[in-house]
Structure 1
Amino acid sequence: MSVVHILRAELELATAGAVTAPESLTIGSVLRPDLPVARDAWDRPYLPGTSPAGSLRQQAHRTGREEALFGNVRPGNGTDAPPSETVAIASPIRLLGTRLDLPQPLEPAQQLEIRRRTAIDRHRAAAQPKTLHSRELLPPETKILLWLRLDTPSLESPLLDELVDLLATWRPVVGRGRTTGHGQALLTRVLKRSIDLDTADGMRHWLMTGGPALVDDHATVVYDHEKDAVPSLLPELFGQPLQFRITDALHIGSGNVLDRPGHRTGVSAILRDHDNLPIVPGSTWKGVLRARCEFILRSVGLNACSSVGENAGPCGDCVLCEAFGWTERTGAHKQAPPDAEPPPSVGARGRLVFADTVVRESTVRIRNHVALDRVFGGARDAALYTEETIENGTVTVSIRHDRDIPELARAALLLALDDLAAGRFGIGAGTTRGQGTLTALSATGHLLGRERTRAVETLRLHHAALTEEAPA
């Protein structure tokens, strides 16, 4: 017989996130988000086991133990099998299932957030047609329970110790959107129950119980975040968060319109998180800063993605694509001729992570706007609109990275942040009419001023190297 080890890993979402299931949409799903949360047969939010299994496999890949812990299917190498055959190695670790527990104080209608996004036309700096889409997200503090099974010949096993160590160093991320801060999770605790099937008690427990009850009160805690914690957050790119103050007003819309009793028009609502606090989404930071980085590199003659022309979009070859990520569906490769060789990859995930930013100490006001008649110079009929704006708030921008960032990309990003602090561009809507301007607070201003000279020198050295390599 053998010993069955059942482990229960307890995770908690630190940021909103979810595994989506667009394949679940049907003809009658026109009112549902374009990317709904994956659900089980009882229509409850669900986390497929393939998501944490793939994340754990990637963690094992960093230590070179991917195949030993999670199996593999690879071509024969001529020793174990003929080259024409494949070698299939079963995974000794089995992921038995998952369960989600959403925060209880929330009402059922508030448990899931719908986040809307759109792509931006790089040339017009406005919304690109036919790119608006919506996504469902689980709220932060959602509990995730994960059960794993490992069979070994005896109670003590190096493979079991390796699995526990792997879990202890795991930085789980749930679902898509990780470079915009979604799905960041924290492993809080791991429980283990070893069931010796050679003993009467072990066999009785195995036969008389099942499901989550297999990990009962006799389980031992093999990892506790409060006692054995490793750094759970990715390192800051500049060593510290960056703090800014809203200079004028800020509007980042949620796509919702709030009704105002007694008024003819609704209010374009700002984007808020699950605690009803105004936020600047990570996608906004990533989009505006990447566009500014591209502008900076192109301005000094260095290679960067193009904003105009037939091939506008991520190129997949420059340092910014390496740092921010890219996808061929929106980049230059989609314009390639039919007979051209396909790109070696359909995209790559970025190394930078931009989290959602809560706006603190702010005042939300309602502003009325109206379009003007260009002929008569007065208000145009039926052109009144109203929107929420944020005033007098502060934001703390966290830019983290999960892999090394090219020095040129880091320099361009720092100069882009310096331009943001100087008011050379803004964020959100209405930046050409006095909105979206930010000012750096003292500590951030000192950091940008101190690092700016080094960043400029980095651009100068790369430009000089490029000039020397160019043919005469």
Structure 2
Amino acid sequence: MTPWTGRRVTSRVRARGWLRTESPLHVGGLGTGPAEPLPLAVDGLNRPYVPGTTLAGVLRDWSRGAGPDALDELWGFAAARGDGGRASRVIVADALVTSDRRLDERGLPASPLSVAQLEVRSSVGIDRTTGAAAPEILYGRQVVPAGHYLRLEIDVESAESPALDEARMRALLTALAAGEIRLGAATGRGLGVVRLLDDCLDLVVDRFDSPAGLLAVLRDDATRARSLTSLGTADPELPPRRELLDIQIGWKPLAPVMVRATASGLTVDTLPLTTRVDDRHLTLVLAGSSLKGALRGHAEFVERTARGITAPQAARGASASEHSIAFRAQLDQLRAVRALFGAARDDVKDRRAGALRVEECDSLVTIPESLWLSATGADAALAAPDEREGSLPRAVRERLDDHGLAQADHVALDRWTGGAADGRLFSVLEPHSVRWEPIRLSIDLTRLGDERDHALALLLLTLRDLAAGRVPVGAAVNRGFGDIEVSGITLSGGPWHEQIELADVLNGPEISTIARAWTDYLAQEVS
């Protein structure tokens, strides 16, 4: 008898569907130079895509939950020594990024996204001592805008327990449909939110251990099809889930609130950051990196005030590199801040990703792309000759005002003459009456580990100050921008199983343990 070769497979669960990007997505590719934004991964035809290794990695990480690296028999493993190990039974294909959900005659995505449609997100570090941009801390990355699609193709091959594997596939797809699994980089700053669309999900279960099952596969029998609810009703036997705390902040601006866009307009110097809603509309956005930076800066201020210490700084006359080193030392000086927001340097002994995730915050205004092109000056050739310089055309200003935006001109005054300084006139497109979505945060309490209670205390103090109007957000906060009024902060998860207001948390029974941990933490030396 011929011995069995290869991996024994008696059944297969196959899923084919679409993931929709609910926030910008970045999966890094090959860079061209240190001065360029971090590029997006592209395939051999220069089409943006998400490698199967990236998808398999995040799916495995979600499956692992709060437990150790388990499910090796499903996801495979490599032996620490020697040639032992086994390949994964989960096969994940590369996911092409597309503009819509059409497939060609071969079943491949028909509308790959062009690299010309990518956006660029830039970020800068703010020195805690000077309040100005920290040297050598400007960086940017290309992102796929929200509202695009990824082609998802997953197979799970089984030999011994097909019912269990079907249940695990159901759990994975359910988590994707709920938006629980993030893709790519900077997920702690709100990037990488994807959601599985259930209206176009194809699920089939193939059996290879009987003639009838083999014939059904060859004939493409419709009886092989399954729905997500009917797929694998058994217990998936996954490790314990991670413990999360969700926070929602309702707010409204008291002054213009915006994040500055990287590029200037032809007429207006400073524009608010926008992101695409669909093919013909945009909206204003507060980047998750900006919101997280504001919260981190204030959390550092709270802890340094409580400890009576100042932020490390470079000596007067130091080089740009020395100032950059001092800035990284500012970020990594405080252990509770590192636990919440992450560490900046590789040489920090407990370096890890921060437990706090801050989502992107979109405005509730939808701006037609044609109007935005007029506001930025991209269609300046269409303007009347007397309307091309100095100010936006009146018709454009009126339409922008309907959307809560207005051009404001500013000029610097000469300290000697008292008149306008030459060459110092600049303009800003200010969102003066724009409504916004709530700010949403989440904390991975499992990741906090032993730092949990005192890190949670620091976050609650930061949220208390945010509710009191002490934390401005966005750009130009020293020039009258960024003031907000918080209407309510609710928490759910962790110690609070039911949704609860921040004021009730600060006066509840759980706060005594958290406060005691904070006091004990402050008694320790800064590490």
Greater shift, 272-281 or 109-118, is seen at: 109-118
Distance in 2 between residues matched to 1:143 and 1:217, nearest whole Å:
26
Q: What's 2:251 paired with?
A: 244
Distance in 2 between residues matched to 1:462 and 1:121, nearest whole Å:
29
Q: What's 1:45 paired with?
A: 48
Distance change (3 Å), C-alpha of 1:195 and 1:113: farther
Distance change (3 Å), C-alpha of 1:414 and 1:163: same
Distance in 1 between residues matched to 2:521 and 2:358, nearest whole Å:
30
Q: Render the CA deviation track for 1:259-278: whole Å, top value 9, x for unaligned.
A: 23xxxxx4311001212111
Instruction: Note if contact 2:47-2:96 (Cα within 8 Å) is conserved in structure 1.
Output: no
| 1:323 maps to 2:340 | yes
Distance in 2 between residues matched to 1:467 and 1:344, nearest whole Å:
20
Instruction: Note if contact 1:155-1:194 (Cα within 8 Å) is conserved in structure 2.
Output: no
Distance in 1 between residues matched to 2:461 and 2:41, nearest whole Å:
40
Structure 2 unaligned residues grouped into runs of 5+: 1-7, 102-110, 234-240, 315-325, 366-402, 491-499
Q: 2:15 aligns with which of 4, 8, 28?
A: 8
Instruction: Note if contact 2:126-2:132 (Cα within 8 Å) is conserved in structure 1.
Output: yes
| SS in structure 2 of the partner of residue 313 of structure 1 | helix
Greater shift, 155-164 or 435-444, is seen at: 155-164
| SS in structure 2 of the partner of residue 243 of structure 1 | strand
Q: 1:75 aligns with which of 53, 71, 80?
A: 80
Distance change (3 Å), C-alpha of 1:316 and 1:8: farther
Offset at residue 236 of structure 1 (A): 5.0
Q: 1:177 aligns with which of 173, 183, 186?
A: 186
| SS in structure 1 of the partner of residue 49 of structure 2 | coil
Q: What's 2:271 paired with?
A: 269
Structure 1 unaligned residues grouped into runs of 5+: 77-84, 209-213, 261-265, 334-342
Distance in 2 between residues matched to 1:379 and 1:224, nearest whole Å:
69
Offset at residue 17 of structure 1 (A): 0.8
Amino acid at match of 1:393: V
Distance in 1 between residues matched to 2:51 and 2:522, nearest whole Å:
51
Distance change (3 Å), C-alpha of 1:448 and 1:5: closer
Q: 1:353 aligns with which of 351, 354, 357?
A: 357
Q: Render the CA deviation track for 1:285-333: whole Å, top value 9, x for unaligned.
A: 1111111111112212289x9454546333276122112122315xxx4
Distance change (3 Å), C-alpha of 1:96 and 1:431: closer
Distance in 2 between residues matched to 1:106 and 1:86, nearest whole Å:
40
Instruction: Note if contact 1:301-1:463 (Cα within 8 Å) is conserved in structure 2.
Output: no
Q: What's 2:136 paired with?
A: 130
Distance change (3 Å), C-alpha of 1:237 and 1:419: same
Offset at residue 159 of structure 1 (A): 3.7
Show the 5 A alignment for 1:269-288: 269-275=271-277, 276-288=282-294
Q: What's 2:409 paired with?
A: 368
Instruction: Note if contact 1:251-1:388 (Cα within 8 Å) is conserved in structure 2.
Output: no
Instruction: Note if contact 1:119-1:127 (Cα within 8 Å) is conserved in structure 2.
Output: yes
Instruction: Note if contact 1:12-1:188 (Cα within 8 Å) is conserved in structure 2.
Output: yes
Note the aligned Cα RMSD (angstroms). 4.0
Q: Render the CA deviation track for 1:15-54: whole Å, top value 9, x for unaligned.
A: 2213121x2x347x98xx5222211111111110011111
Distance change (3 Å), C-alpha of 1:377 and 1:202: same
Offset at residue 425 of structure 1 (A): 3.7
Distance in 2 between residues matched to 1:344 and 1:420, nearest whole Å:
31
Offset at residue 223 of structure 1 (A): 1.7
Distance in 1 between residues matched to 2:182 and 2:152, nearest whole Å:
14
| Equivalenced residues, count | 427
| 1:18 maps to 2:26 | yes
| 1:382 maps to 2:428 | no
Amino acid at match of 1:315: D
| SS in structure 1 of the partner of residue 459 of structure 2 | helix
Offset at residue 174 of structure 1 (A): 1.0
Distance in 2 between residues matched to 1:169 and 1:426, nearest whole Å:
35
Distance change (3 Å), C-alpha of 1:259 and 1:103: farther
Q: Render the CA deviation track for 1:397-453: whole Å, top value 9, x for unaligned.
A: 111123345233233223323323433341222222221111112677x94444445
Amino acid at match of 1:51: T
Q: What's 1:92 paired with?
A: 89
Q: What's 1:340 paired with?
A: none
Distance change (3 Å), C-alpha of 1:416 and 1:402: closer
Q: 2:206 aligns with which of 194, 202, 208?
A: 194
Q: 2:39 aligns with which of 36, 40, 50?
A: 36
TM-score scaled by structure 2?
A: 0.70
